[in-house]
Structure 1
Amino acid sequence: MLNKTYCSAVYGIEACTITVEVVVSTGLHYYIVGLPDNAVKESLRRIESAITSCQLHMPRQKIVVNLAPADIRKEGSSYDLSIAIGILASSGQLTNELLEQYLILGELSLDGSIKPIRGVLPIALQALNDGFKGIILPQQNAQEAAIVAGIDVIAVENLTEVVQFLNNSKNILPTKVDIQSLFHTETNKYDVDFADVRGQENIKRALEIAAAGGHNVILIGPPGAGKTMLAKRLPTVLPPLNMIESLETTKIHSVSGNLKAKDALLTIRPFRAPHHTISDVAMVGGGSNPQPGEISLSHHGVLFLDELPEFKRSVLEVMRQPLESRSITISRAKLTIDYPASFMLIAAMNPCPCGYFNHPEKECICGSNTVQRYLSKISGPLLDRIDLHVEVTPVLFDELSAAGSSENSLTVRNRVIQTRLIQKQRFESIPDVHCNAHMSTKLTRDICQIGEPQKKLLKTAIDRLNLSARAYDRILKVARTIADMENSSTIENHHLAEAIQYRNLDRETWGGKF
């Protein structure tokens, strides 16, 4: 007897509905077809033990399982529950009236309990698009799936509950989530604040500009100057995630397995800080079973690279294209996957191996060639893609011990939100552009028009610093953000001058162009 159940496979951050066809007939063997990987092929042993543990009967006949469409590779253990239900239905142990109305997913343990799976949010979205009434899945994944309105989420803990529900002998109420409350819970509060940082007002100003326009930043200065401390507080001044951004971010973390059971939806911007020993694949994503990398896990958030010159040159160079396109394409012989990668890059580095080159008090012990060789680990094309180059100097004792408190993150964040609203109105009719940093070259020339006095100032800076065409655009974008912060419709001389001063690594002080 043929029975069909339905589950889903995740490719990239999108899901595809899989039809599980099961036939139980005369014979003794078990066959599974439809490009299954080893985890799927091994499912029979888990299914057999789970069915037996739940006091159900495992047919001692020929069982043929087909996973359609057959030309798409099936990976992972999320097919266990759907296959088990198909076997039970084909052997007459449950009715098949509800099978076509639900997606059924979950990994079976030997005792019949159901373990959580990855990628539930994109699966639930696809189930809604495909017209399913609901989705049956592990208890731990229920909160995440319930984010999708218009579909019943049936949370189960073991195989017995699934059978009872499908036989209409047990009523399981759909899981519900109050989405609005998720954006106003304690998870929105950070453990760090700009008020923790003493002094460094010019660096805070630079980071506020970066947050207001979505610009990339590199901080260069001696050890202990506060680079890491400042970088970790950048997310606290970024605008809150909206619903669309939150869903996109949650989907990526869901398919990568980084989403905790209690986190139905990510409501704060991610902050990723990989170690400098990270590999190319771990940074951009990929592998034999492609997974999102750090740049995608930082989507709509911040990617912090501390001790930038210590990263492998190849790791830094593979980021050049995603920094421009805000996405990454992973290509394999039989598969091409696109992952979003719209992140803010904030990097930190010492000016030399000993860390004290150009220090106002301590003497550098590195030779000029050593300094140049150290700085040259960061390529010119990569630096051109970083909008603000900021020198961080040590904080004086008087500033550290001064009474009173600094401006807190909430105050700065409110200003950033107001600036972003100006940009939102400006780019309302332009797709995929949400802040000044996202402007294309053509759009930059249209939006960031300047007068003759500003052109002369910019020409002088370009001639002295030998800036590239990309750096020219970056200066205009930063100047536009500074003007937006002052609610100015035009870019004035002081806006442009401040933007130019944030090209520290282009100056002769740091060895000129890399």
Structure 2
Amino acid sequence: MAVLKSIALYGLQGYLVQVEVDISPGLPAFEIVGLPDTAVREARERVRAAIRNSGFDFPARRITANLAPADLRKEGPSYDLALAVGILAATEQVPVKNARRFVYLGELSLEGKVRGVWGVLPSVAQATRQGERAFIVPVANAREAALVEGAEVYSVAELGELVAFLRGEVELTPFQVDREALFKAGEGDELPDWAEVKGQLYAKRALEVAAAGGHNVLLLGSPGTGKTMLARRVPGILPPLSLEEALEVTEIYSLAGLLSPRISLVTRRPFRAPHHTASAVALVGGGRYPRPGEVSLAHHGVLFLDEFPEFSKEALEALRQPLEDGVVTVARAQAVVRFPARFMLLAAANPCPCGFLLEGKCTCSPQQIQRYRSRLSGPLLDRFDIFVEVPRVEFEDLACSQIQESSAVVRERVKRARARQQERFKKTGIFCNAAMTSAQVRRFCELTREAKQLLATAFKRLNLSARGYDRVLRVARTIADLEGSETISTDHVAEALQYREEKGV
């Protein structure tokens, strides 16, 4: 009998799995128990063919493999490698002592090649936190696995290579990456530049404030006014990810199977733009075996929802909890899974079904307009910090040859504001003003006497809720940070209140 180790993921939470392989006399059979799903049960044929085609003996006896703990659901093909090595160790084709040193992750092809699997980074990270140090992973996953500090990662391309290593016939060196160098190198093409947007100074200023504080924004305007163009340039003015944030995002992308061997570390803030036909599960995550949705894939980045009212009511209302808590909670009978979802929401909408209400050319009836607007509930709108009306661009602005402010210039101002916030929120676990709790708002948002008077008047006139009041203060705090001021003045509150007016919705 041989007992090896693998790991099971439920959300981003990892559980060590004991892979117990017993070979006994009897009719040839291969059974896998321990609550396996279809992909795990199919491992019997993959493992049998891989062992034989790699030149090793597959025992013609009764094989029982138990994946413990037996009450935890096992899914995916990542147990193939542990099962194959367990059979070879139980039949003394590899030394059991050497085989037991490692945690195994990897899928086997019929010819014995080791294929990459999803979720290797969070798996290795979780196992390392539980005291494991040595890992065998596919070559395709080696770079992401080596990102975990304290992990000794060995990569293999085929089963024969792994067996030779366990027998001591060949030597493998731990795969290593320079996290700092990888992080600084970055990735991908250049982002669209802020300077390409003509005019729209008011909208640009509002989005700069939003980027500086991580605030949610609703862009409202007629078709063709540049809402989507503005939104797609917001990632270019956001500050770069910290290494800690990059690792968090990369774990989510690894779990979702969106990491390629070429990109082992996500160094750019995510920008997700799902189609308006996306379901609630696609947006917030879930499914029979919970997977992260778009809100989690946008963690520490931007979620852009174009044609916002066209999303289903169920999908829109499902956004309320992650917008408030910064985490998605998916409850299932077996367990409760939590995915991080601290993102900046950018939504774009037309003022009416035809889109031309603000220009006086609307062909919609009052009933159509009311029905269209009712798709966005009051509690959902209350979770936006900034409302921006995007007017049609004038000819003079389009024809102007003057060079506009670039993304790099705006990003420097945003970085300075974020640096003040990071200093302010040191050791609190948050990174920007939008994530402040009500208690932190009271602590960090110090207003002048005149600013308090203005806010008191506006509170009654705009009929602000307690949540809306806090959001005004958060935006005012960000505006003050952009100006380098520790105290929130009347001007800062006035600008924040201007963004709070729900124009046309």
Task: Report if TM-score (shorter chain) is over 0.5.
Answer: yes
Equivalence for 1:268: 268
Distance 1:311 1:189 in 2: 30
The equivalent of 2:343 in structure 1 is 343
* 1:409 and 2:407 are equivalent in the alignment: yes
Name the structure 2 match of 1:72: 72
Secondary structure at the counterpart of residue 345 of structure 2: strand
Taking the aligned partners of 2:163 and 2:279, their CA distance within structure 1 comes to 45
Contact 1:127/1:135 (<8 A) preserved: no
- Residue 21 of structure 2 corresponds to 22
In the aligned structure 2, how far is the partner of 1:357 from the partner of 1:31? 66
Provide Cα deviations, 1:420-446, integer angstroms capped at 9, x if missing partner: 1111121214x2332111111222123
Alpha-carbon contact 2:36-2:74 (below 8 Å) kept: yes
Q: Is the 8 A contact 1:127 1:134 kept in 2?
A: no
Query: 1:461 maps to what in 2?
Result: 458
Which of these residues, 418, 422, 425, is aligned with residue 423 of structure 2?
A: 425
Report if aligned partners of 1:193, 1:409 keep a CA contact under 8 Å in 2.
Answer: yes
Aligned amino acid, residue 255 of structure 2: V
> Structure 2: how far apart are the matches of 1:39 and 1:183?
35
* Conservation of the 8 A alpha-carbon contact between 1:286 and 1:293: yes
Q: CA–CA distance in 1 between the matches of 2:186 and 2:454?
A: 48
Instruction: Specify whether residues 133 and 489 from structure 1 end up closer, same or farther in structure 2 by C-alpha distance, changes over 3 A only.
Output: closer
What's the CA shift string for 1:293-346, capped at 9, x where partnerless?
A: 111111111110000010011111111111111001111111111111100000
For the residues of structure 1 that align with 2:182 and 2:192, how far apart are their CA atoms? 20
**Aligned with residue 394 of structure 2, among 372, 393, 396:** 396
1:233-288 CA-partner distances (Å, limit 9, x unpaired): 11111111111111111111111111112111111111111111111111111111
Q: What is the aligned counterpart of 1:367 among 353, 365, 368?
A: 365
Match of 1:385 in 2: 383
Matched, 1:237 2:237: yes
Is 463-472 or 273-282 further displaced after alignment? Answer: 463-472
Counterpart of 1:447 in structure 2 is 444
- Tell me the equivalent position of 2:500: 503
User: Which residue does the alignment assign to 2:82?
Assistant: 82
- The separation in 1 between residues aligned to 2:426 and 2:177, in whole angstroms, is 31
One-letter amino acid of the counterpart of residue 414, structure 1: E
Quote the offset at 1:197 in angstroms.
Answer: 1.1
Is the 2:101–2:134 Cα contact (8 Å) retained in structure 1?
yes
- The 2-side partners of 1:471 and 1:10 are apart by 38
Distance 2:496 2:129 in 1: 46
Specify the alignment match of 1:10 in structure 2: 9
Give the CA deviation at 1:189.
5.2
Counterparts of 2:182 and 2:271, CA distance in 1: 19
C-alpha distance in 2 between matches for 1:308 and 1:31: 50
Displacement of 1:157 in angstroms is: 1.2
Q: CA deviation at 1:95?
A: 1.3
1:416 is aligned with what amino acid?
V
Matched, 1:299 2:299: yes
Matches within 5 A, 1:313-328: 313-328=313-328
* Residues 459-468 or 131-140, more deviating: 459-468
Of 485-494 and 449-458, more deviation after overlay is shown by 449-458
Shift of 1:188: 6.2
Correspondence for 1:149: 149
- Contact 1:6/1:82 (8 A) holds in 2: yes
How many Å apart are 1:465 and its aligned residue? 2.5
1:49 Cα deviation from its structure 2 partner: 0.8
Deviations 1:326-376 (A, max 9, x none): 0011111111111111000000001111111122xx622123332232122
Secondary structure, in 3 states, of the residue corresponding to 2:100?
helix
CA distance in 2, matches of 1:131, 1:357: 62
The 5 Å alignment of 1:109-258 reads: 109-187=109-187, 190-258=190-258
- SS of the residue corresponding to residue 96 of structure 2 reads coil
Q: State the SS of the aligned residue for 1:286.
A: coil
Whole-Å separation in 1 of the counterparts to 2:48 and 2:372: 60
Matches within 5 A, 1:84-99: 84-99=84-99
SS at match of 1:274: coil
Query: Matched residue of 1:502: which SS?
Result: helix
- Once residues 14 and 456 of structure 2 are traced to their aligned partners in structure 1, the CA distance between those partners, rounded to angstroms, is 51
The 3 A distance-change label for structure 1 pair 250 and 186 is: closer
Q: Find the aligned partners of 1:353 and 1:38 in 2 and give their Cα distance.
A: 46
Q: Residues of 2 paired with 1:449 and 1:340: CA distance?
A: 30
Of residues 493-502 and 188-197 in structure 1, the stretch that sits farther from structure 2 once superposed is 188-197
C-alpha displacement of 1:116: 0.8
User: Is contact 1:284–1:295 with CA below 8 Å preserved after alignment?
Assistant: yes
Q: TM-score, normalised by structure 2?
A: 0.97
Q: Distance in 2 between matches of 1:439 and 1:134?
A: 40
Between the aligned residues of both structures, percent identity stands at 49
Greater mean alpha carbon deviation, residues 44-53 or residues 420-429: 420-429
Give SS of 1:7's match. Answer: strand
Q: Which is worse superposed, 365-374 or 413-422?
A: 365-374
Q: Which position in structure 2 is the counterpart of 1:493?
A: 490
Deviations 1:113-165 (A, max 9, x none): 11111111112213323443421111111111111132222111111111111
- Shift of the alpha carbon at 1:55? 1.2
What's the Cα RMSD here? 1.5
Alignment partners' CA distance in 2, 1:224 and 1:489: 39
Structure 2, gaps ≥5 residues long = none
Give secondary structure in 1 for the equivalent of 2:357: coil
Distance 1:186 1:213 in 2: 23
Contact 1:5 1:82 in 2 (8 A): yes
State the distance in 1 between where 2:234 and 2:492 align: 22
Which SS does the other structure have where 1:172 is aligned?
coil
Check conservation: 2:20, 2:66, Cα contact below 8 A: yes
TM-score with structure 1 setting the length: 0.95
For 1:469 and 1:142, how far apart are their aligned partners in 2?
A: 49
Amino acid of the structure 2 residue aligned with 1:330: V
Counting matched residue pairs gives 504
Give the structure 2 partner of residue 436 of structure 1: 433
Answer with 282-291 or 146-155: which moved more. 146-155
Cα distance change, pair 419–10 in 1 and its aligned pair in 2 (3 A): same
Q: Is the 8 A contact 1:436 1:480 kept in 2?
A: yes
SS, match of residue 175 in structure 2? coil
Alignment CA distance shift 1:464-1:199 (3 Å): same
